Structure 1
Amino acid sequence: MARLSQLALLANIAALLNIAQVAAYSVPKLHARALDGAGALRDSYDYVIIGGGAAGLTVGDRLSEDGKTTVLVIENGELANSPDIDNVRDQVTWDVRPWWVYNISSTPNKELENLQSFVLIANVVGGGSALNWMQCVRGTKEDYDRWGSFFGSGSSWSWEGMLPYFKVGLHFQTPSKDAVEQMPDLKYDESYWGSTSRLYAGWPTFQWPGIKYQFQLYKELPGVEVPEDSGAGETGVFWYPTFMDGEGSINRSYSRTGHWDDLNRANYDLLANTKVTKITLDGKKATGVVFRSSQTNSEDAKLTTIKANREVILSAGSIHSPQILQLSGIGPRKLLKSAGIKTKVDLPGVGQNFQDHTGIYFEVKFLNYTIRPNRRDDLQDPKFIAWADELWNANRTGPWSRAHWNTGAWLSLPTIAPKTYKSLSAKVSTQNAADYLPRDSHPTVIAGYQARLASLAKAIRSRDTIFYSHYFSGDEPVNYFTLEHPLSVGSVNINVTSPHSEPVVDYRTYSNPVDFDIMLELARFHRRVNVESPLLAQFQPVETLPGAHVTTREDWVAHMRRNTEPTAMHPSGTCAMMPLELGGVVDEELKVYGVEGLRVVDASVMSVIVGANLAQTVFAIAEKAADIIKNGGK
């Protein structure tokens, strides 16, 4: 069987999303200022935010809402024509432009037969929230308590400390009667949500009937519960909303619609198509940023410096935030010296602790799959489109009212592997962190990884931490599942021979071999549930990948090496919020160690990745960060 690489996955995504040819687009008029170029800038701003993604626009909105505090957001990508992103029709109709993603490939992945993966990250105003599959989930309570545990008791980085920001960050829309009728076993509790944000968590009015079989299948498993709400911070099987306005426009809801469009503020500026090259420092104080147009690759392009009167806030994401710090002389001294960059702050953890969710392909075909209303062998089929259009035009229902998935299983290892989870935990507890990191890793980085391993060894034994994630589709089987808490960590560092080119992304998948053991348990569980269950026998399931002949650990590991995706497009951890002695980059106020007036606010601050898609968590981090900045407290 040929390897299904990330590049193949990208090709499949591109085909589904109907990538179009390059064209020119008009930008709608906005009340906040979208600047045409550096000539329209103020002399200085109170806050300069690097990155106009999920976190950057959220922080920019909150800091400028007094109408007086001046804020500039600088974004590498374009301010795209809204309808090209906003439209919530099924994935087949989305028109994603190829220049809305960066062109980055990872280094060869040793444990994946030297696979080089496409690093799929957004390059457009709105960031990942503009292009993701709109999954509105938040993980479990333990994910957030784990962050604060590295600082000792009393940290506000906990479930209780984050829940208020989950609430303020999203406007929950009660599902309509039509929606409820199509979501059996739906539970929701609005006390876990807010109602003031312009960022919506809404519900489509259509679900494929086949989902009920998958939901029932998992619900009846030993130890699997249906939580009172998808946002309750618990493991189980549940329905969850989509980042969409399900009551009004039936459009994608993301950082731009929630935190930029239609804001009537002359003090909130956005400079798109602009690449930040470094942060300026006066001694150990951040004073501003240097940038140029991102429309040219010439190193001779004109550079402009803008001053930040109060702070620079770095929200460029887990791939580019560490790169910008390193280009500014903030990072591992040895790396910076190799690149010819003067070290201004020796901070070994910058770019280390890189994490992502790990996915594995597992394909099941149903020979007697008649549980959907219209077989979708080809989503471009005119008959299917006509049927979907008819439903949409009649009452705004049908497939065009939904984006992707709205339900799935999010399960712990004691549930997945009741006979082996204790031995897996014991194995991790005895590991020496230095054995699974690059040889030249700094002692503080090693100490931080050792602390994470201890925390994850405990998580393996818990019924309240997610290790297995699988979406339910209902129209056709989802052909993969993910490991939500991999032990392996990678790195994102500048290219020492060409520092201003794209950074060197090294996933180091399965560098901790216990990940093979955990993935093996997940795979065997997935087979038992989705192939061998009596409930699905009527549909005649046939496992086509890896195939029933794969039974031994050796065969399974061989399959993993050829069919693992090192990324679920959820990069995190490269500017970890950890104590300095544990390789941390930012403290509990998200301030960069050793630098005054500089914070990092994005997914890179996660010390341990959460067991969920990252968007909802990033919005909450940004809301909490804005509160910290405005109020001067944790």
Structure 2
Amino acid sequence: MARLLSVLAAVVAVTGPVCLAYPQEVPASKVFLNGRQVGTEYDYIIVGGGTAGLTVANRLTEDGTTTVLVIEIGQLSNSAAITSIGKVVGGSSAVNAMMTVRPAAEDFDTWGSFFGPNSHWSWSGLLPYFKRALNFVPPDEAVTRSANITYDTSYWGSTSGVYAGWPSFQYPSTTAQMEAFRGIPGVPFVQDSGSGQPGVYWYPTFMDPKKVERSYARTGHHDQAATRPNYHLATGSKVRRILLDGTKAVGVAFVPASAERTAPESVVRARQEVILAAGGIHSPHILQLSGIGPRQLLTSAKIDTLVDLPGVGQNFQDHPMIQATFQYSRFNIRPNPNDLYSNATFRAWSEAAWAANRTGPNSIATGNAAAWLPFPVVSTRANEIAAALEAQNHADYLEPNTDPTVAAGYRAQMLAYAAALRSNGSAFYNLVLTGGPSNGILVNLHPLSRGTVNIDTSDPYNRPPRVDYRALSNPLDSVVMAELVRFTRKYHLENPLTRDWAATELSPGRNVQTDQQFADYFARTLNPSEFHPVGTCAMLPRELGGVVDEELRVYGVEGLRVVDASTMSTLVGGNTCQTVLRI
């Protein structure tokens, strides 16, 4: 206690008054709606009660003795009306599309390659953790046969509280759209989505198959840990910064989220470590507010630089979404999803099946079939575009005055992406199959452009971070995405297995043909985010602009780790939730 008070006295001298969380009798409930009810100190403090934070908290408290406090800005809620940013216990896993997609093996080998040939961040090194992260329940046998679903349980586990389940129904139209990819030579079909191989495949859903409800970090990890006296959760509380004693993380300062501008700060101490799990936007923001980040940025905000770490908040990536809409005028495969709206008899049957036993079409979340294809399958220009990427002066496509280490890391990533563009082992193209007579969204799985997430230097503690996607800042992104649209045209318009469906291209329209016309179209229409923010606390060597090492420890700080999507050095070719659970 004497050491704690000494540390806090130093903090007060630097930052002003705080409200201390003194020892007290612990209430019967372990979920505190008022953060000031928490104890004085814990073995571990986890900042963020989302996908990553709850998973780690569950693992750390399994022994019944290690004490853990999770601090979450949102509330404990079962409501479906949750904001898209996942400001709730369970985080983004509470609001995502429930697509249980595992990216390609090469994506993880790429992460390890930045550290050299002996890194344990590789497909073979990480597969056991993918298996531990989810409890796979095979689809119903009748649906498996009728939809021709294939899977291989050797890629999956059976012990997690988070389930990879399946709906009890699949539209025959979805199966037809999936099989239609066989009309394009060279398209691979994959037996199981968990194999690490790109191609066309069925994938499961984050769903408890018995309850037929969303399975996520709250149900799979918080609900387990909540029965343990060594697990505490403070909701409605915003962490303002990490407290350092020299270069050692010793605790956090936080305020009620409902009164963050006026309430005094509370402080709680970590005996072992502080673990950041606030996500791709807020983890770098908290580090910067704590004096850990680019010196020039912190100086301009009048924040003392305690650890000069140029990569914090840089290397920002997200999956951009492309409008490429096609509609069939003779799509007569029945039933299909449109029948829920146009066929009263089918809708009544669907609602009755759901009411009786939670089966039928209403058990489908967002579909379970998609194409995740390598670039050489999509484009004959793979070598040309890869060579152009290699030849770039990569620093030209970053913000002016970018730190040389961050620029070096960007160059290393682009050279890795050039190899991936030529490879059949990494997916660049994603088309989710709707089963309906129209489809309109493509996803660029490996964007080349990089953005930033930085404090607002005019009022860093009271204003949200400045998020700059810098979408299309690397002009080759437009060239790659043009090839994705051209391939989609081939699937809809030049494919013998889709010809009878009589597709019409609604966007971008047949008048968009050249690379420049596509670049102009994307500049007007591109959505830069699929809500997959990553990269801002990148796991890279420090000389490549890294923020954390291979054990996810923040460089230059003792007792501080980051464990969320912000640590991904390069964005994976798939939805991020399963990968974050594995991290």
Could you tell me the TM-score, scaled by structure 1's length?
Answer: 0.85
Partners of 1:32 and 1:267 within 8 A in 2: no
Selected match of 1:65 from 55, 62, 66: 62
Deviation at 1:562, TM superposition (A): 1.5
Name the CA distance, whole Å, in 2 between partners of 1:368 and 1:426. Answer: 42
Deviation at 1:490, TM superposition (A): 0.6
Deviation at 1:131, TM superposition (A): 0.2
Deviation at 1:380, TM superposition (A): 10
- Judged with a 3 Å threshold, the aligned counterparts in structure 2 of structure 1 residues 478 and 33 are, in CA distance, closer, same or farther, namely farther
Partners of 2:183 and 2:495 within 8 A in 1: no
Are positions 1:139 and 2:103 aligned together?
yes
Residue of structure 1 in register with 2:166 after alignment: 203
Selected match of 2:196 from 230, 233, 236: 233
Deviation at 1:502, TM superposition (A): 1.1
Deviation at 1:179, TM superposition (A): 2.7
Name the CA distance, whole Å, in 2 between partners of 1:31 and 1:556. Answer: 61
Name the CA distance, whole Å, in 2 between partners of 1:549 and 1:139. Answer: 34
Residue of structure 1 in register with 2:264 after alignment: 302
Residue of structure 1 in register with 2:187 after alignment: 224
Partners of 1:363 and 1:545 within 8 A in 2: yes
Partners of 2:329 and 2:437 within 8 A in 1: no
Partners of 2:373 and 2:428 within 8 A in 1: yes
Deviation at 1:223, TM superposition (A): 2.2
Deviation at 1:559, TM superposition (A): 1.5
Selected match of 1:570 from 521, 532, 535: 532
Deviation at 1:142, TM superposition (A): 0.5
Name the CA distance, whole Å, in 2 between partners of 1:368 and 1:400. Answer: 25
Are positions 1:456 and 2:453 aligned together?
no
Name the CA distance, whole Å, in 1 between partners of 2:320 and 2:401. Answer: 25
Deviation at 1:467, TM superposition (A): 0.5
Deviation at 1:32, TM superposition (A): 7.6
Selected match of 1:96 from 81, 91, 100: 81
Name the CA distance, whole Å, in 2 between partners of 1:382 and 1:371. Answer: 17
Residue of structure 1 in register with 2:407 after alignment: 446
Name the CA distance, whole Å, in 2 between partners of 1:331 and 1:588. Answer: 19
Residue of structure 1 in register with 2:279 after alignment: 317
What per-residue deviation string (whole Å, max 9, x for no partner) do you get for residues 277-317 of structure 1? 000000000000000111124x2212100000000000000
Residue of structure 2 in register with 1:408 after alignment: 370
Name the CA distance, whole Å, in 1 between partners of 2:337 and 2:238. Answer: 46
Written as runs of structure 1 = structure 2, the 5 A alignment for 1:508-527 is 508-527=470-489
Identify unmatched segments of 5+ residues in structure 1.
1-29, 85-94, 102-120, 622-634
Deviation at 1:443, TM superposition (A): 0.6
Name the CA distance, whole Å, in 2 between partners of 1:183 and 1:199. Answer: 25
Residue of structure 1 in register with 2:309 after alignment: 347
Selected match of 1:45 from 12, 30, 42: 42
Residue of structure 2 in register with 1:626 after alignment: none
**Letter aligned with residue 198 of structure 1:** G
Are positions 1:472 and 2:472 aligned together?
no
Written as runs of structure 1 = structure 2, the 5 A alignment for 1:99-498 is 100-101=83-84, 121-184=85-148, 186-246=149-209, 248-263=210-225, 264-297=227-260, 299-373=261-335, 376=338, 385-417=347-379, 419-498=380-459
- Judged with a 3 Å threshold, the aligned counterparts in structure 2 of structure 1 residues 396 and 332 are, in CA distance, closer, same or farther, namely same
Give the aligned CA root-mean-square deviation in angstroms: 1.8
- Judged with a 3 Å threshold, the aligned counterparts in structure 2 of structure 1 residues 179 and 122 are, in CA distance, closer, same or farther, namely same
Identify unmatched segments of 5+ residues in structure 2.
1-26
**Letter aligned with residue 182 of structure 2:** K
What per-residue deviation string (whole Å, max 9, x for no partner) do you get for residues 160-209 of structure 1? 1110100111101011113313422x221111111111110001011122
**Letter aligned with residue 203 of structure 1:** W
Deviation at 1:381, TM superposition (A): 8.9
Q: Secondary structure at the match of 1:467?
A: strand
Q: Secondary structure at the match of 2:427?
A: coil
Partners of 1:360 and 1:560 within 8 A in 2: yes
Partners of 2:198 and 2:427 within 8 A in 1: yes
Deviation at 1:530, TM superposition (A): 1.7
Partners of 1:32 and 1:268 within 8 A in 2: no
Residue of structure 2 in register with 1:582 after alignment: 544
Name the CA distance, whole Å, in 2 between partners of 1:538 and 1:382. Answer: 26
**Runs ≥4 residues deviating over 4 A:** 377-385
Partners of 2:51 and 2:93 within 8 A in 1: yes
**Letter aligned with residue 193 of structure 1:** W
Name the CA distance, whole Å, in 1 between partners of 2:516 and 2:448. Answer: 20
Deviation at 1:539, TM superposition (A): 2.0
Deviation at 1:42, TM superposition (A): 1.5
What per-residue deviation string (whole Å, max 9, x for no partner) do you get for residues 13-48 of structure 1? xxxxxxxxxxxxxxxxx9982113134312210000
Deviation at 1:136, TM superposition (A): 0.4
What per-residue deviation string (whole Å, max 9, x for no partner) do you get for residues 134-177 of structure 1? 01011111100100100001111110111010011110101111
Deviation at 1:534, TM superposition (A): 2.7
Name the CA distance, whole Å, in 1 between partners of 2:300 and 2:508. Answer: 44
Partners of 1:244 and 1:252 within 8 A in 2: yes
Choose 1 or 2 for highest CA Rg: 2
Residue of structure 1 in register with 2:23 after alignment: none
Partners of 2:114 and 2:540 within 8 A in 1: yes
Are positions 1:74 and 2:71 aligned together?
yes
Deviation at 1:383, TM superposition (A): 6.3
Q: Secondary structure at the match of 1:210?
A: helix
Q: Secondary structure at the match of 2:63?
A: coil
**Letter aligned with residue 62 of structure 1:** R
Q: Secondary structure at the match of 1:215?
A: helix
Could you tell me the TM-score, scaled by structure 2's length?
Answer: 0.92
Name the CA distance, whole Å, in 1 between partners of 2:423 and 2:366. Answer: 30
